[in-house]
Chains A and B, each alone.
Chain A
Amino acid sequence: MRDVAVVSFAQAPSVRREPDRNEVEILMPVVREARERSGLRKDEIDFICSGSTDYLAGQSFAFVAGLDAVGAWPPIAESHVEMDGAWALYEAWVKIQTGSANAALVYGFGKPSMGDLPEVLALQLDPYLLTPLWPDAVSLAALQARLCLEGGVVSERAMAEIAVRDRGNAKANAFAQVKGDFEAAKLLAEPYLVDPLRKHDCAPISDGAAAMVIAAGDVARRVCRRPAWITGFAHVAEPQDLGVRDLTRSRSTELAAEKAGALKGRVEVAEIAAPFTHQTLLVERALGLGRDVAVNPSGGALAANPVMAAGLIRIGEAARRIHDGAARAVAHATSGPCLQQNLVCVLEG
């Protein structure tokens, strides 16, 4: 295995609705910042990979416009995943492992404010059996939450406390969207949004983008004072049909954490991309995090959730802690309904 590290990261502030800029205009300054901070020349970055979904804009091949932000002439080696940028990072990491690249620019972006995101997400479901019923993403998460609540796996109180923690942590994060001091008791007095979920149980809908540069061994050491080495990286998917899954635990997170070796050393920081409070609890459990771990110091996806960038941002936030001196961090990203697919990335200083 080649040593590969995160050498720079940049993100746009997450906002409910970006009124002026289109996706490329949101992305451009973020890509530029990640590139400049990397200390690498444009021609030293020999692979580019992005994550986005065309259904957010309702246009086929909408992701191609994103290339305007990176400069694609003379022709570049480039790829795209119809997933969160965290999976684009995985592809870039594999590309570097194969020896066919030494440094990569990875970005993810989403501007869901142009449509009805919970409805758009119904298009990631089984197109024969589920999409025609148009179950929105919040309703599906609510089905899972009830199973967890009635199964005694989580409580509404514990879910509210996750919201309080993450929104409180987000106060220190200039890029976060939902932040501040809240009390669990007051949150629990709010009405249900989709019974049994309340508004605080759901991540906000966010427009945003993030970009990252990763580099192999010597390149990373040359340009970065303290590279955030990717020492474990794995992702695992569960079946598409909710009915055949155990929705009260995140088996795929458990497997990904095991494959990535997340628990082979003390975890100082964990960043979790689960967009619902009960899912955050399930992922924390699946990762086997101890009480001494700082979970979601950025506020996590519950404080800012630009779809297709939120997972990459978790990895970027974890890398930032390593750059700042932390020894070991774990970042999580998710895709699909009810934590269907999960990715775990271990970073070390």
Chain B
Amino acid sequence: MTTARAAQGSLTAPHKLDYTYKRSTGPVLGRFFGGLRDGRILGVRRADGRVLVPPKEYDPDTGEALSELVEVAPTGTVVSWAWVARPREKQPLGRPFAYALVRLDGAETPMLHAVDAGEPSRMRTGLRVRARFAAERGAGVRDLEAFEPADGAPVEPGWPRPLAEADLPEPVELLRIPVKLDYLYSAGQAATRFLRAMAEGRLLGQRCPVDGKVYFPTRGACPEHGVPTEGEPVDVKDRGTIVSFSIVRVPSENLAVELPFAAINVLLDGADTTFTHVLSEAKLEDVHMGMRVQAVWLPREAWTASMRNIKYFKPSGEPDAPFESYEAHL
């Protein structure tokens, strides 16, 4: 989450999910992707002789293991299509196109891909199409860039073609598949109230109506009783007691603090729940349970509706808190 902004009451912030999955392909799909890299399309033969494209490891009807790979034609016929007038960014083509189920010559089952037809009037069920391969390959199913109309291309005989061991493409064993998604995250009522108070340098807790416990930070619910923490928020102090800590020596992405540092679990004065922050301005060997700490804030002009207004905690110099005062939070 980056900077928060107000929209219709609740604070919102853009949230980007960005993972690249590394996927092992296995013996069947590995050869299929190897075929695409080489500009060929492979299927797998079922016991009854019919050919599945893309190939499957198992027969979807019988569960029988399948392994006899064959090659099908780069030409095929559109079985169904949907016209995408406004393609999304990640979709195969940057201009209007059709998603289509295409039955390649020699295959029993159609496969899903894009047809680069230019305009919807060129699309029809029964349209003959031909595979167009990407210039750079080795990336999986997108090595097949799209199908394009091939009006009048005859259904060529001779497909599927058997593949001897020597004819099999070298497999692609690992694929890197990025998943990027954009969200506009909304904080909700309780977190919005909490973050707006942060922007004024206040730390707001909320009380459980059942047992009076003060939750900090609050998400709007007492997770113990499953009830809303309604009612007036409670101001919590920006100083408290270290309940637990650990010394972090392992680097990690998105970490703004220099290694090694102490991650501390703090019980703020006035709160009944702990939260985690960073301790600084202290020797690591001095950090201990019961140590009193206080928040070090960013300069006032830098405050936003964010937890980051607190840079870190530092020792307050007060005498240690007695064990009984935080024993219940261990």
List A residues at the B interface (Cβ < 8 Å).
18-25, 28-29, 31-32, 42, 55, 57-59, 65, 67-73, 111, 114-116, 119-120, 123, 127-136, 138-140, 142-144, 146-147, 150, 192, 194-197, 239, 241-244, 247
* Residues on the B chain within 8 Å of A68, using CB: 219-223, 226
A58 adjacent to B186 (CB under 8 Å): no
Pairs A-B, 7 closest by C-beta atoms: A22-B188, A71-B226, A142-B82, A19-B8, A243-B109, A195-B83, A68-B221
- Taken together as a complex, chains A and B put the C-alpha atoms of A333 and B88 apart, in Å, by 28
Extra 6 A-B pairs, beta carbons < 8 Å, given A22-B219, A133-B114: A59-B15, A123-B179, A131-B179, A136-B91, A147-B79, A247-B80
Nearest CB on B from A125, distance (A): 9
Binding site for A on B (CB under 8 A): 7-10, 15, 17, 21, 23, 25, 29, 33, 52-54, 56, 60, 79-85, 88, 90-92, 99-101, 109-114, 120, 125, 140-142, 175, 177, 179, 181-192, 219-228
Task: Identify which of B21, B33, B187 contacts A127 (C-beta below 8 A).
Answer: B21
A55 touches B79 (CB 8 A): no
Are A132 and B140 in contact, CB atoms less than 8 angstroms apart? yes
Tell me whether B112 and A135 are in contact (CB under 8 A): yes
Establish whether residues B80 and A28, one from each chain, have CB atoms under 8 Å apart when the complex forms: no
With A119-B181, A134-B90 in contact, is A129–B54 under 8 Å at CB?
yes
**Given the interface contacts A58-B185, A123-B179, A134-B88, does A129 sit within 8 Å of B99 by beta carbon?**
no
21 contacts between A and B (CB under 8 A): A18-B186, A22-B191, A28-B220, A28-B228, A58-B181, A58-B183, A59-B15, A68-B219, A71-B223, A114-B15, A127-B23, A128-B23, A128-B25, A128-B141, A132-B177, A133-B112, A143-B101, A194-B82, A242-B101, A243-B52, A244-B52
B residues less than 8 Å from A32 (CB atoms): 226-227
- Measured between beta carbons, the chain A residues less than 8 angstroms from B226 are 28, 31-32, 42, 68-72
Taking a contact as CB atoms under 8 Å apart, the answer to whether A69 and B81 are in contact is: no
B10 touches A21 (CB 8 A): yes
Which among A70, A120, A132 has the highest number of chain B CB atoms within 10 Å? Answer: A132
Chain A residues near B114 (CB, 8 Å)?
A: 133
Q: Which residues of A contact B182 (CB under 8 A)?
A: 115-116
* Chain A residue, CB-CB nearest to B9: A20
Structural contact, A25 and B177, CB atoms closer than 8 A: no
Asked whether A114 lies within 8 Å of B184 as measured between CB atoms, the reply is yes
Least Cβ distance of A108 to chain B in Å? 16
Are A21 and B188 in touch, CB under 8 angstroms? yes
A18: nearest chain-B partner, CB-CB: B186
Indicate if the CB atoms of A67 and B223 lie closer than 8 Å: yes
Given A58-B17, A143-B80, A194-B83; A133-B92 close (CB under 8 Å): yes
- Distance of B2 from chain A, by nearest CB (Å): 14
* Contact of B88 (CB < 8 Å), options: A73, A119, A143, A242: A119
Chain B contacts of A20 at CB under 8 A? 8-10, 186, 188-189, 192
- Contact for A28 among B53, B92, B177, B221, CB less than 8 A: B221
* Chain A residue with the shortest CB-CB distance to B21: A127
Tell whether, in the assembled complex, residue A239 and residue B223 are in contact, meaning their CB atoms are under 8 Å apart.
no
Query: Closest residue of chain B to A240, judged by CB?
Result: B60
- A192 in contact with B221 given A19-B8, A133-B141, A243-B110 (CB within 8 Å): no
User: With the chains together, A128 CA to B144 CA distance in Å?
Assistant: 13
Q: Which of B8, B99, B141 contacts A139 (CB 8 A)?
A: B99
Separation of A19 and B189 alpha carbons in the complex (Å): 9
Task: For A73, list chain B residues within 8 Å (CB).
Answer: 223-224
Q: Are A150 and B125 in contact (CB under 8 A)?
A: yes
- Give bound CA distance, A114 to B25, whole Å: 32
Q: Do A65 and B82 form a contact, CB below 8 Å, given A115-B183, A143-B101, A244-B52?
A: no
For A194, the closest partner residue in chain B by CB is B82
B9 and A195 form a contact (CB under 8 A): no
* Chain B, Cβ-Cβ closest to A22: B188
Complex Cα distance, B142 from A135, in Å, reads: 13
Is A19 a contact of B10 with CB atoms below 8 Å?
A: yes
Chain B residues contacting A129 (CB-CB under 8 Å) are 29, 54, 111-112, 141
